Amino acid sequence: MEIENPLEICTLLYVEDKRDIRRRIIPFLAPRVKTLWIAENGEKGLELYEKCRPDIILVDLNMPRMDGIKMSRAIRCEDTEIPIILTASYNDIYRLSAVVEAKISAFLPKPIKIKELIKTVERTAKNVLGQRARSKTQSTLAQHYLAIEESALLIYLDEEGKIRQINDGMSELLDFPQDVLIGESFENLLCKDYCSDRYDSLFEAFGKGESWYGELNLLTRSDREIILKATLIPIYDTVTPSYQFMMLLDDITELVNYRKLLKNELDQTQDTLYEKIHFLEQYQNAINEGTAICRFLEDGTILKTDSRFDKIFGFEKDELVKRSFYQLCPNLGSDLETKVADAINSRSVLRKRIKCMDQKGRMYVSDSVFIPIYRLNGEIEEIISIHNDITDIIKLNEEIHNTQKELLYILGEVVESRSQETGYHVKRVAEYSRILGRLAGLDEEEVELLGIVAPMHDVGKIAISDKILLKPGKLEPEEEKIIKEHTLIGGELFGNSERSFMKAARIVALEHHESYDGTGYPYGKRGDDIHIFGRIVAIADVFDALSVERAYKRSWPIEEIIDFMKRERGKKFDPYLIDLFLENLDLFLEVRKKECMV
């Protein structure tokens, strides 16, 4: 909406050395502007400019100490945009070149006509506000564009389907340098293992300048197939004139692969068609409901949401507006608000996995990006949040996680049963390891992982013959050599998997017989070169082994066990960890006394 009197929201600096002229002009300027500052010469005018930073400057040409031209030149060194209106007599026209050099915005001849003065400053104020509005709009648009560039995968194409531009995220996904892709036909990226007419509608959209929505299968530089949801948006170029296109993509490869994995598992394990359809529909919905967008203020007040966001949380259109976004995240509210505030202050983008609650109290898990948008003056305008629904993936990962835990535990019990021991040994070793891990400062995720894989320390014994494994007497040197190989066998069993369970289990199997002083096996690792999981399980395993009677040895009294472990401090055992163990011995003895663990 256009402001009736733009001067009302502008500030003005008036510099004039003659008092009688100032007295005549000030009564007409002061009521019309937001703030009026007065200076009697160029030096004081320059000081006021530095202090107050006005919107408009009205300055006389001829003044003592510093004239209007010198003052204007000094200001132009800092600000090339601020409008400067110069007042001067006609007989000063010979200084026209200096006026041009100082980039004077307007000229008012003396004696000044009040009507012409008001008209000039009002016109200048209108230009100032117009420029300010344009800059704000450009800044906001630029930030929205950067927000999309930051969080999305983008390709820009011409009407022939050739790539004109590609953003960093898409270039990295395809594993091609941007300059290699520019100018190439988009068709060359498509996987050719599908029917030839599958993408006919896409290329028709290029020719007709129409939008298109669908699923694409592309090939990376290493011939890896990726699956993406794509939205093609036509943009008409009036200069050419012709259509250009922006293609917005979303990588759904992992989701589709999970869907296939789940389908295969269902084919093998589910008994009824109803259950199969039920599970498959949930994963199809997870893919279809991918990305949702919410815009909210710094205090969390929601400004606007898209239809997917409304659907996820069970609200009708506009019902979320004016609610607080943080109230949707009851378990993260204050912490999330703090992290968003930090992102605003550091002018950065926040990426965070969040848990939100829908209208019926159901939990929704999202990988989310929070992008602050700023006004021209640097103040925060709003936050755009982009959410990718991974609820069903999290549930599936939890099922896989629990299944792996159960399998590892069962495998540990199988190994112990071959050694004619109960499964309680692996339970106790796991619990001792958890306690010592917490005392050592591991976080809860690491403690939980350690407790799961600790029972795997002797898994390699499954390949040792009963003749050696169950021998009641002392082993011969060759037999000792063979039984020491259970560490290497255990490492081989878990291979080189990158899954956290398998990596941790491999470490424990390989390193629980390494000694802190380097005299252990299989590699003779020393000190901190031994993974902390291996150092912890070494203490837990020895403590339990000495505490329990086995076919080839008696159980030791607790005093003898403590003396042994003290003697091995810095030799077999990490001195820091063994100190923690002995200082908190009651915690470990309590586990040993539990009826279910004996």
**pLDDT tens per residue across span 427-453:** 889 899 999 999 999 999 899 889 888
Superfamily per CATH, domain 289-389 = PAS domain (3.30.450.20)
521 has a pLDDT exceeding 60: yes
285 pLDDT tier (thresholds 50, 70, 90): very low
| Summary mean pLDDT of the chain | 81
User: 380-389 and 363-374 as β-strands: parallel, antiparallel, unpaired?
Assistant: antiparallel
Per-residue model confidence (pLDDT) at position 202? 87
Would you state the pLDDT for residue 238? Answer: 62
| Mean pLDDT score, 495-511 | 83
Query: How far apart, in whole angstroms, are the C-alpha atoms of residue 322 and residue 508?
Result: 53
Classify burial at 2, counting beta carbons within 10 Å of its beta carbon; exposed 0-12, middle 13-18, buried 19 or more.
Answer: exposed
Can you tell me the mean pLDDT for 85-113? 76
pLDDT > 70 fraction of the chain, expressed in percent and rounded: 80
Alpha helices in 215-325 (DSSP H): 253-269, 273-288, 307-313
CA nearest neighbour of 354 among 388, 313, 303: 388
Amino acid identity at 167: N
217-229: average pLDDT: 88
Which of the four pLDDT bands, split at 50, 70 and 90, describes residue 258?
low
CATH for 6-138 (3.40.50.2300, 3.40.50.720, 1.10.260.40, 3.40.50.300):
3.40.50.2300
Ranges 129-133, 168-172, 261-265, 334-338: which has the least confidence? 261-265
CATH 1.10.3210.10 placement within the chain: 395-597
The residue with greater pLDDT, 532 or 384, is: 532
| Average pLDDT of span 304-322 | 81
pLDDT score of 132 more than 60: yes
pLDDT over threshold 50, residue 284: no
Interval 191-213: pLDDT, tens: 876 556 778 888 888 888 888 88
End-to-end CA distance of the chain: 81
**Amino acid identity of 200?**
D
Token pair, residue 565, equals 């472990």
Higher pLDDT, 450 or 417: 450
Of the candidates 482, 496, 490, the one whose C-alpha atom is nearest the C-alpha of residue 508 is 490
**Residues 389-395, mean pLDDT to the nearest whole number:** 74
Q: Residue 513 above 90 pLDDT?
A: yes
For domain 152-251, give its CATH number from 3.30.450.20, 3.40.50.300, 3.30.1490.100, 3.40.640.10. Answer: 3.30.450.20
pLDDT value of position 192:
75
pLDDT of residue 559: 93
Q: What is the pLDDT of residue 537?
A: 95
Percent of the chain residues past pLDDT 90, beyond the cut? 23
List, by residue range, all CATH 3.30.450.20 domains of the chain.
152-251, 289-389
The predicted pLDDT at position 353 comes to 85
Contact (CB, 8 A) for 588 and 581 = yes
The pLDDT value recorded for residue 349 is 86
Residue 43 is predicted with a pLDDT of 92
pLDDT class for 551, splitting at 50, 70, 90?
A: low
Find where tokens 């510099």 sit: 15
Indicate if the pLDDT at residue 422 is higher than 50: no
**Residue 553: pLDDT above 80?**
no
Residue where the block lists tokens 């899954």: 499
Q: Which residues pair with 108 in a beta bridge?
A: 87
Token code pair at residue 380: 């925060």
- Mean pLDDT for 260-277 is 53
Q: Which fold has domain 395-597?
A: Hypothetical protein af1432 (1.10.3210)
> What does the pLDDT read at residue 447?
92
The two three-digit tokens of residue 125, written as one number: 């104020």
pLDDT at 13: 94
Residue 420 confidence (pLDDT) above 50: no
Over range 31-57, report the average pLDDT.
92
DSSP 16: -
Report whether pLDDT(547) > 70.
yes
| pLDDT at res. 198 | 77
State the pLDDT at residue 53: 92
**In this structure, what are the phi and psi dihedrals at residue 236, rounded to the nearest 5 degrees?**
-85, 125
pLDDT at 567: 95
Binned at pLDDT 50, 70 and 90, residue 499 comes out as confident
Range with the poorest average pLDDT among 185-199, 414-428, 510-524 = 414-428
Tell how strand 350-357 and strand 225-237 pair up. Answer: unpaired
